[in-house]
Structure 1
């Protein structure tokens, strides 16, 4: 038999995470949200993170103006809604909507429904968040309002 080439370890691993495998936790980026890790950061060796994010407390001040150091970032709203400022444009993101946040876009999440839940997928997994100067005025949160 001819020599077989060595098979190197794959760049990513198979992952299957079920709801009871990981719990929602309060140690994520924002203290008014809860985050559930979906195992993708480990499976991709840090190339991508995927997490579910749910509302935990009513919005008071929102996220403040910021941007992310990331190559790729999408938000898929699963339930409820959230209101964002993307640069100077107010954007209502409702259940079923998908938003691609281009690298470096300045934004501010300022209001959301109590049942808000979204899937966030970001690359790399260890992306950073940087506060930025205000872009424009932000509407007031209605605090579980519409």
Structure 2
């Protein structure tokens, strides 16, 4: 039972990602981008290494905690930009045992960009009914469809 007249204490948690008006999304995105580039350049890092990088590089002019660096790294994992694994160095610390590595994206080729018609200057007049410019007499198109002899 509560005593009469007691007020519930509201504990305000300090976090660098929030301002008086709410989440500072630009700050979070900027820090995440810098951390992702750090992971790409280094090939992977722990929370402690990332924390040291952020402090030494001067990216942020506010004092950032290791917990906040961990949340940014976990955000990168959630977005699919990084993956996490457990280090084999025996460090049982939460901040030293997890290694965050960047996910390397493969740039896919667009099949349309390989079709010669996509970049052809005559594509606007080319059609099967046009006698002078059609896919049947187009050398680039015929070469594309040609099956190699070694198959």
Question: Which structure has greater strand proportion?
Answer: 1
Superposed pair shares fold, TM > 0.5: no
Report the TM-score when normalising by structure 2: 0.27
Report the TM-score when normalising by structure 1: 0.28
User: Larger relative contact order (C-alpha < 8 A, sep ≥ 6)?
Assistant: 1
Bigger radius of gyration, 1 or 2? 2
